[in-house]
Amino acid sequence: MADRQIILDTETTGLPVSEGHRLVEIGAVELIDRKLTGKHYHVYLNPERPVDPEALAIHGLDDNFLAEQPKFAHIVSEFIDFVRDSELIIHNAEFDVGFINSELGRLAGQGALSDYVASVTDSLALARQKYPGQRNSLDALCRRLAIDNSERVLHGALLDSQILADVYLALTGGQKTLSFDEHPPGAHPALEAGIIRLPVARAALRVIHPDSDEQQAHADWLLKLGKEGVPKGWPERF
- Residue 223 banded pLDDT, cuts 50, 70, 90: low
Q: According to the model, what pLDDT value does residue 17 have?
A: 97
Q: According to the model, what pLDDT value does residue 75 have?
A: 98
Q: Which tens digit of pLDDT belongs to each residue from 28-40?
A: 999 999 999 999 9
Say how far apart CA 167 and CA 146 lie, in whole Å.
Answer: 9
pLDDT reading at 147 higher than 60:
yes
pTM recorded for the entire structure: 0.75
Tell me whether residue 15 is in a domain: yes
Say how far apart CA 6 and CA 89 lie, in whole Å.
Answer: 6
Say how far apart CA 226 and CA 228 lie, in whole Å.
Answer: 7
Active site residue ranges: 155
Tell me whether residue 233 is in a domain: no
- Residue 106 banded pLDDT, cuts 50, 70, 90: very high
Tell me whether residue 96 is in a domain: yes
Say how far apart CA 134 and CA 49 lie, in whole Å.
Answer: 37
Tell me whether residue 53 is in a domain: yes
Question: Is the Cβ–Cβ distance between 218 and 174 less than 8 Å?
Answer: no
Q: Which residue range is the domain that position 93 belongs to?
A: 4-225
Tell me whether residue 234 is in a domain: no
What's the number of domains the chain is made of?
Answer: 1
- Residue 221 banded pLDDT, cuts 50, 70, 90: low
Tell me whether residue 128 is in a domain: yes
Tell me whether residue 236 is in a domain: no
CATH of the domain at 28: 3.30.420.10
Say how far apart CA 148 and CA 51 lie, in whole Å.
Answer: 29
Tell me whether residue 232 is in a domain: no
Give the three-class secondary structure for 79. helix
Q: Which tens digit of pLDDT belongs to each residue from 47-57?
A: 999 999 999 99
